[in-house]
Structure 1
Amino acid sequence: MLDFEDKVLRVRNLSKQFGEGCELCRHDKGVLEKNHCPHCKTIYACRDISFDLYKGEILGVVGESGSGKSTFVKCLYFDQDVTAGEAYVTDYKEGKANMFDETSQQKRYLRDYLLGMVYQNPYLGLKMDFTTISNIAEKLIAAGGRNVVGMIERADELLDVVSIEKFRRKDAPKSFSGGMQQRVQIAKALSNNPPILFLDEVTTGLDLSVQAAVLDMIKVIQRDLQISMIVVSHDLGVIRMLADRTMVMLDGVVIEEGLTDQILEDPQHAYTQQLVHSLL
């Protein structure tokens, strides 16, 4: 049972745009075509996104390609700078410091200790020529780890969790299948026991049977470790399987949010109704 008083992350009015904007679109978003300005070509990838993430919760973010969902999660992991907005991690400076205003050094601290990311493209999250164990050790070293034996033991423990066979652990991820690469990414992201984990389209491009195995593993990890997760996907089937609550994005805006069961059973927005219908 989720405790909705126990927040681990608060985000307010997160916005990200590509371009300076012009007099027309800065003052009247009604001139936009979808999420871009036809006059100055500025793209408003995310507009005033606000939400809370709770301890042990999986929050789903669903939307079509170009809806802004991946940009949104990359902003939270500092892969991209926000244009405006605030975000507070409860385990960081008593939840009183806007992490978007922090120095690059403090942002590295947040990434190394309190946040984890699993990318759609494993090449963004892994060193493909390093061994699997070395990939996990890299994250541990970034967080100050120096005990080699301890790091190897931690890597083995996590690779057991994600079911990577012992005889493959000194192999480089470039020799692995897509599903195995995603499992190694998850192990690496979990290495420092972060309270918050971001997963961006982690099953895209995988065979259906591999997708199911990865999703089952994510659910088990979340249940056993009580990590809070934000899962981004264009596939409402993935969100249905994983998420406690769901936000639906379209053209950079959250158009609907609520408990996942409610979204699936009684969608209010026409776009969400279309998504749910496509799932049936």
Structure 2
Amino acid sequence: MHETPILRVENLCKQYGTGCQECQDKERNSVEKNYCKSCGTVFAVRDISLDLYRGEILGIVGESGSGKSTMMQCLYFDTDITSGAAYINRPGKENENVFELSSQQKRMIRNHDYGMVYQNPVHGLKMNFSSIGNIAEKLIAAGNRNVSDMEATGKRLLTNVHIPLHRMKEEPEKFSGGMQQRVQIAKALSNNPPILFLDEVTTGLDLSVQANVLDLIKKIQRELQISMIVVSHDLAVIRMLADRTIVMLNGEIIEEGLTDQVLEDPQHAYTQQLVYSLL
């Protein structure tokens, strides 16, 4: 691909602890997995660089604790980074490191450029608001003040994610897990974001519900040409959705490439173990 990425991430790091000379110097090798034996610092995300292109689904796969969800939280400004840079391809702002922006500017990016679907709907929805009220909240945050517009948008999005309109005034706490995820997807899409983050969105759902949610994500991506980063520990999810795949282990990228290539001919011993354990 020769076009400019819609999102470029460079040397992203997130550590818990101050670090010491032992773990800052890679040659001394005091870090076991992602934990420094000398000072107790945990390197949740270490030196991550990636590109996301327009209309692409990028899969991030790895075991629990590999740093993939922490990376998503950093990108969505849910947690502060230790160091690194990220650039969104927006007119006139291509060279702005979004991590260095003010909290108000970061909020603008969350409201206009990003959508987020969390593993646990409690983090993405107000469970005691109506479903359409959740969507309206996101639209208001993005600057919409027209009530009839917001209602029309809310109805259209809920219809698109197969939530019956006679239930639009109901709170998500009364819904099943699969319906909650679908409301979350509708809310995340309400501001037409060019970039959508999906963090383990099918975990904990029944297999038939998982399939419905994945079909919905694929359909949305095809119709709207949204760029997506999909985090999962489930290779079947990544195989179905992702154009390219990154494999993470202990906070670092250990392998990346076209999804078919990574899953059919894994190069790293850990990826081989991951793939062959499913066969």
Q: Which TM-score band applies after superposition, normalised by the shorter structure? A: over 0.9
Map Cα deviations across residues 183-235 of structure 1 (whole Å, 9 max, x no partner).
00000000000000000000000000100100000000000000000000011
Give 1:185's aligned residue.
Answer: 184
1:36 and 2:44 correspond: no
Q: Secondary structure at the match of 2:3?
A: coil
Alignment correspondent of 1:176: 175
Aligned position for 2:93 = 94
Offset at residue 30 of structure 1 (A)? 1.9
Letter in 1 for 2:232: S
Deviation at 1:93, TM superposition (A): 3.8
Contact 1:4–1:54, Cα closer than 8 Å, also in 2: no
Q: What is the deviation of 1:163?
A: 0.4
How big is the shift at 1:6?
A: 4.1
1:163 aligns with 2:162: yes
Alpha-carbon contact 2:4-2:89 (below 8 Å) kept: no
Q: If the length of structure 1 is used for normalisation, what is the TM-score?
A: 0.97
| Equivalence for 1:216 | 215
- Is structure 2 residue 64 aligned with structure 1 residue 65? yes
Indicate whether 1:8 and 2:6 are aligned.
yes
Q: Distance in 2 between matches of 1:232 and 1:81?
A: 19
Give the secondary structure class of the aligned counterpart of 1:30. coil
Provide the rounded CA distance (Å) in 2 between the counterparts of 1:277 and 1:160: 40
Counterparts of 2:34 and 2:98, CA distance in 1: 26
Greater shift, 28-37 or 150-159, is seen at: 28-37
Q: Which residue of 1 aligns with 2:25?
A: 27
Cα deviations by residue, 1:132-176 (Å, 9 ceiling, x for unpaired)? 000000000001110011001000111111000111111000000
- Aligned mates of 1:279, 1:244 — CA distance in 2: 20
SS at match of 2:6: strand
- Aligned counterparts, 1:1-280, within 5 A: 4-28=2-26, 30-91=29-90, 93-280=92-279
- The code of the aligned residue for 1:116 comes to G
Note the C-alpha offset of 1:278.
Answer: 2.0
Q: Aligned equivalents of 2:171 and 2:2: distance in 1? A: 41
- In structure 2, the gaps of 5 or more residues are none
Aligned residues, how many?
Answer: 278
Q: After TM superposition, give the deviation of residue 92 of structure 1 in Å.
A: 5.8
Alpha-carbon contact 1:237-1:279 (below 8 Å) kept: no
Sort the Cα spacing of 1:92 and 1:80 in 2 relative to 1 into closer, same or farther, 3 A: farther
**Conserved 8 A contact 2:247-2:271:** yes
